[in-house]
Structure 1
């Protein structure tokens, strides 16, 4: 029975916030090494996504409205935006213009350092 109440803690995902940096400077992008990040794209449509690691992405093109699970709020971003999506967020991406982006997942390499 107590397990049922602990699952309601997933409702706290609404506290996970997506941050959007509009038109970051070229120096900021090169500092992050954006061009060496892998690329991902998708056509217009709706996508259910769950982020198991924090993702930072830079949209080369596209337009997206994201609806975090359990929240009535939505956030919109598009080409030229640097977006940080928190670990643990479940959301729906409503893509109105095909997306092409560079992305980078937060490294968990710090966890492997203790394995010596």
Structure 2
């Protein structure tokens, strides 16, 4: 689970990296505000990542369950998250979410929505 420090947290099992409350200078350097935005209401969303995604959550709270695991990672507003290419996971969104996002190529993840 993400903590309140600004040190990146990662799970070697999943390859997901979470940086809580990164400094504005880092967000500016990444050009976050020029990235597309995506949002969703509470629900379950399954994604297969064909490309690495970097996202910055503006609001919301989510638990991510990698396929085949009962373990999860939790993150929310003001977290910078990197999700590796090749992972399939289900997002359990408990609080409506808005995020900026960027993929490392023109590929996007396939998804299905279970609400």
TM-score of Structure 1 vs Structure 2, range by shorter chain? 0.7 to 0.9
Higher helix share: 1
For 2:50, the equivalent position in structure 1 comes to 52
Larger Rg: 1
- Unaligned regions of 5+ residues in structure 2, if any? 1-11, 107-115
Shift of residue 32, structure 1, vs aligned partner: 0.2
For 1:21, the equivalent position in structure 2 comes to 19
For 1:71, the equivalent position in structure 2 comes to 69
SS at match of 1:92: strand
Structure 2: distance between partners of 1:29 and 1:73: 29
Aligned counterpart for 2:89 among listed residues 76, 91, 96: 91
- TM-score, normalization by structure 1: 0.78
SS at match of 2:33: helix
Higher strand share: 2
- Unaligned regions of 5+ residues in structure 1, if any? 1-13, 109-116
